[in-house]
């Protein structure tokens, strides 16, 4: 694009995003291409080049934050290891320890204590003030839920924003293998909409993903139930599918999945910044079901629309807003990790 054309684009803000689309399509830059390349082009055309290398949407920043998140996860595991060592020491010093059954198998102890938690907080309009207010409510309530009430539980995670196309979700049909996931997501999000927002076709899902250590307990299920009960006691989180606490996966594609692999994959997933992460690659697309690859989504949704390959691609203005919001969340701390929750 010529310098003259770009200057004209900046001068006419009312038509800027329409022009962004025209320029991108002219240069054959479609929304399904590599997310970083697309993001750079969109931010340059929107005169927000200052955000290019600052947020999680930048590959280098994403990689750095994956590593930092993984370090936090490993600190949680170290806490469990220390407890195992202390328990073993006490058992060795206790003459009656032979009559006490103590599980010191590291793999089993970690499996009983570590869980992956997803908490769907609110569905709000695509408005920066509304979204940031929702994030603040989530931060405040999650602290109220745990601090002083669940002292033995540790939480390490990230607040995420998912741009939603509710209109597309309402129209979507799924084949048998994806039907449950697709319909469950649609119904869950619809139930979370406040009456004042029931008409929305586009929205943002403010949510939290985290690793939690249930702490030392005679019963992992009892500890899990205590966490679930405490979280569901908040009216904002009372819907049945808003909260999921599950064990780490033991296999993937038929192969065993180690603890290290689990933590590494989760660290990458919750710091992705973009809407979707499939096979390690980020894309700026609407995610229609809870399944990561939108399993079973009917192909009838795919058609050429304004030069994009299908209706699941995020509008260019949403990509810009995503970068702006991530920057604001990250800048809440000097260390640029303002989106991170640690309890």
CA distance 200 to 295: 25
Q: Is the model more confident about 305 or about 19?
A: 19
Is 13 inside a domain boundary?
A: no
DSSP string, 218-261: S-HHHHHHHHHHHHHTSGGG-STTSEEEEEPPSEETTEE--HHH
Give the CA distances from residue 121 to residues 13, 134, 176, 196, 288, in Å, rounded to whole numbers and listed in that order. 33, 8, 28, 17, 18
Tokens of 201: 């076709």
Average pLDDT over residues 14-39: 60
Q: Which domain holds residue 69?
A: 59-87+103-342
Q: What is the pLDDT of residues 206-249, one digit of tens each?
A: 999 999 999 998 899 999 999 999 999 999 999 888 999 999 99
DSSP code at position 272? -
Q: What is the pLDDT of residues 37-56, one digit of tens each?
A: 888 888 988 899 999 999 99
> What is the phi/psi pair of residue 49, to 5°?
-60, -20
Q: Is the model more confident about 276 or about 95?
A: 276
208 closest CA partner among 331, 314, 343, 112: 343
Distance of CA 69 to the CA centre of its chain: 13
CA distance 83 to 79: 6
Query: Is pLDDT above 80 for 18?
Result: no
Is 29 inside a domain boundary?
A: no
pTM: 0.86
Is 27 inside a domain boundary?
A: no
Apex 34 CA angle, 28 and 38, nearest 5: 60
CA distance 32 to 312: 9
Query: Is pLDDT above 50 for 294?
Result: no
Q: Domain count for the chain, please give it.
A: 1
Is 96 inside a domain boundary?
A: no
Q: Are 210 and 117 in contact (CB under 8 A)?
A: yes
Give the CA distances from residue 58 to residues 132, 169, 215, 252, 334, in Å, rounded to whole numbers and listed in that order. 21, 28, 35, 27, 18
* pLDDT at residue 341 in the model: 98
DSSP code at position 203? E
Task: State whether residue 308 is helix, strand or coil.
Answer: strand
Is 10 inside a domain boundary?
A: no
Is 44 inside a domain boundary?
A: no
Q: Which residue is associated with the tokens 């310098």?
A: 3
Is 48 inside a domain boundary?
A: no
Q: pLDDT category, 316, cuts 50, 70, 90?
A: confident
Q: pLDDT category, 36, cuts 50, 70, 90?
A: confident
* pLDDT at residue 298 in the model: 42
Is 28 inside a domain boundary?
A: no
* pLDDT at residue 16 in the model: 62
């Amino acid at each position: 694009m010529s310098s003259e054309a770009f200057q004209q684009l900046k001068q006419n803000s009312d038509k800027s995003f329409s022009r962004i689309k025209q320029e991108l399509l002219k240069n054959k830059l479609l929304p399904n291409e590599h997310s970083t390349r697309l993001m750079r082009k969109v931010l340059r055309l929107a005169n927000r080049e200052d955000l290019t290398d600052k947020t999680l949407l930048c590959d280098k920043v994403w990689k750095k934050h994956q590593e930092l998140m993984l370090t936090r996860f490993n600190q949680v595991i170290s806490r469990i290891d220390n407890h195992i060592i202390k328990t073993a020491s006490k058992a060795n010093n206790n003459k009656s320890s032979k009559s006490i059954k103590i599980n010191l198998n590291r793999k089993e102890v970690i499996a009983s204590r570590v869980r992956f938690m997803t908490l769907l907080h609110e569905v709000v309009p695509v408005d920066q003030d509304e979204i940031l207010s929702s994030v603040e409510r989530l931060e405040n309530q999650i602290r109220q839920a745990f601090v002083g009430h669940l002292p033995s539980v540790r939480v390490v995670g990230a607040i995420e924003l998912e741009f939603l196309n509710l209109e597309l979700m309402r129209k979507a049909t799924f084949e048998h293998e994806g039907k449950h996931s697709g319909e469950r997501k649609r119904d869950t999000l619809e139930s979370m909409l406040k009456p004042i927002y029931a008409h929305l076709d586009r929205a943002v899902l403010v949510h939290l993903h985290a690793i939690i250590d249930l702490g030392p307990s005679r019963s992992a299920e009892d500890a899990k139930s205590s966490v679930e009960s405490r979280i569901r006691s908040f009216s904002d989180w009372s819907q049945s599918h808003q909260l999921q606490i599950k064990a780490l996966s033991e296999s993937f594609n038929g192969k065993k999945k180690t603890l290290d692999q689990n933590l590494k994959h989760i660290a990458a997933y919750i710091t992705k910044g973009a809407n979707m992460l499939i096979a390690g690659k980020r894309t700026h697309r609407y995610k229609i079901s809870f399944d990561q690859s939108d399993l079973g989504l009917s192909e009838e949704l795919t058609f050429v629309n304004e030069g994009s390959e299908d209706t699941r691609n995020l509008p260019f203005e949403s990509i810009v807003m995503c970068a702006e919001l991530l920057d604001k969340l990250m800048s809440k701390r000097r260390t640029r990790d303002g989106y991170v929750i640690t309890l």
